[in-house]
Amino acid sequence: MLLPSYYEYCCRVKTVAGHEVLERIPELLSSMHAGKPMIITDKGVVAAGLMDIVTGALADKLVIGSIEDDVPPDSDLRVVNELARKYKAKGCDSIIAVGGGSVLDTAKGVNIIVSENADDLMKFTGAGALKRKLKPLVAVPTTAGTGSEVTLVAVIADHEKNRKMLFTSYFLLPDVAVIDSRMTMTLPDFLTAMTAMDALTHAVEAYTCLSKNPVSDACALEAITLISRNVLNVVKNPTDKDGRLALATAATLAGMAFSNSMVAMVHTIGHSVGAVCHVPHGTCMSILLPYGLEYNMHKNGEYTAELLYAVAGEKVFASTPKEQRAAKTVEYIRGMNQALHDATGGRHARCLREIMGRDGKPMVPAGTLETIARVALGDGSIFYNPEDLDFDDMMMVLTAAWEGVKLDQNMIKKG
């Protein structure tokens, strides 16, 4: 446990979680003086039948202003503008976002435009540009991974100008996060594994990076405990309601942790693997997490060691000598990846070279590693990594993660 001489923590999102909590949305909106929401979602959510559950839960209790399912996998400025136009035309007074990170980011972008009565989203890019509360926003996550239902960031792509705009403000925090186990019940096994490891990475990096603080630590530890106790069981028994709720709750807790203490090199490199090779974020996270912990071991090994209790339980923690606990934590996380690989019939990749696209071709050819390393040098999360990382360090980590071998501790530069 670290007690910094100064830290900040803020999460003002009301969390409502349970097996049948969607039914509470009308009442929650009413308490915010809203009753005609626009529902923003994507076609995947509709195809999975989740919108039927949502609309069934809301039926007769409020007027749904509009249901929009045109959100692409990568949030898009044009879509944001179009949805804002429809919101105004249909006289909506609030937003319900049902989906993953892209849907929620889109909903946040729409909320900026309709609340500020703006025509140009660009005016609000960057940190702190928003100065007042926005329209009521209810977030209903359909994956148990991103934690975006409790984060203050939105990333919206302007595909015409080939750029991504970042928005950061406490006013972007949703008013309510509704965590309902029915929303993740149909998630396929490999997606359950990938998103759970994404949430685990959020929590582990939040606990071990430079900006950790006692409040985010508490969230992170509980998230790690819930994930490590439940993920394999849920992958093997997808209808385990309590397990689904545990993973969804863990993702929210991990979101609360990392949105306050930030993340580190696993995200630094993972973002770049995603940007260069279009690999799903959770896959990058699960592969790179053990490497991030190994690389920083000489700087933050004591925190990694503390995680063994949450990752492996009290018996393993008690029977492992103190000086071996950090390495044991990494070993357990690698073991989780292996177990998930086996349980998903190999669809959960263990190293970068195992990631295959839909066409069956490798998504991360060895020749892309240098480009990934260069892009990673410009990722902001690098500031929060305990140890410095230059191009050569990135290449060392990427090469090991590509091959699926442990990092050689003797090769890590310690200044």
Residues at the interface with other proteins (CB under 8 A): 4-8, 126-127, 166, 209-211, 262, 377-380, 382-384, 386-388, 413-415
Give the nearer residue to other proteins in terms of CB position, either 342 or 388: 388
Give the nearer residue to other proteins in terms of CB position, either 179 or 204: 204
In angstroms, the Cα distances linking 310 to 203, 218, 303, 307 are 11, 11, 12, 5
Strand-by-strand arrangement of the 66-68 sheet? 14-18, 176-180, 137-141, 94-99, 37-40, 66-68
Q: How far is the CB of 163 from other proteins (least distance, A)?
A: 10
C-beta of residue 36 within 8 angstroms of C-beta of residue 91 = yes
Q: How far is the CB of 299 from other proteins (least distance, A)?
A: 8
C-beta of residue 78 within 8 angstroms of C-beta of residue 160 = yes
Q: What are phi and psi of 346, to 5 degrees?
A: 90, 0
Give the nearer residue to other proteins in terms of CB position, either 76 or 387: 387
Q: How far is the CB of 212 from other proteins (least distance, A)?
A: 8
Strand-pairing partners, residue 66, are: 38
Q: How far is the CB of 71 from other proteins (least distance, A)?
A: 25
Give the nearer residue to other proteins in terms of CB position, either 97 or 257: 257
Give the nearer residue to other proteins in terms of CB position, either 17 or 129: 129
Give the nearer residue to other proteins in terms of CB position, either 335 or 378: 378
- Tokens 């492992």 -> residue: 320
Q: How far is the CB of 80 from other proteins (least distance, A)?
A: 21
Q: How far is the CB of 166 from other proteins (least distance, A)?
A: 8
Give the nearer residue to other proteins in terms of CB position, either 128 or 188: 128
Give the nearer residue to other proteins in terms of CB position, either 377 or 411: 377
Q: How far is the CB of 267 from other proteins (least distance, A)?
A: 13
Q: How far is the CB of 23 from other proteins (least distance, A)?
A: 39
Q: How far is the CB of 377 from other proteins (least distance, A)?
A: 6
Q: How far is the CB of 266 from other proteins (least distance, A)?
A: 16
Give the nearer residue to other proteins in terms of CB position, either 106 or 268: 268
Strand-pairing partners, residue 138, are: 96, 176
Q: How far is the CB of 330 from other proteins (least distance, A)?
A: 21
Give the nearer residue to other proteins in terms of CB position, either 7 or 236: 7
Strand-by-strand arrangement of the 163-168 sheet? 126-127, 163-168, 153-158
Give the nearer residue to other proteins in terms of CB position, either 122 or 166: 166
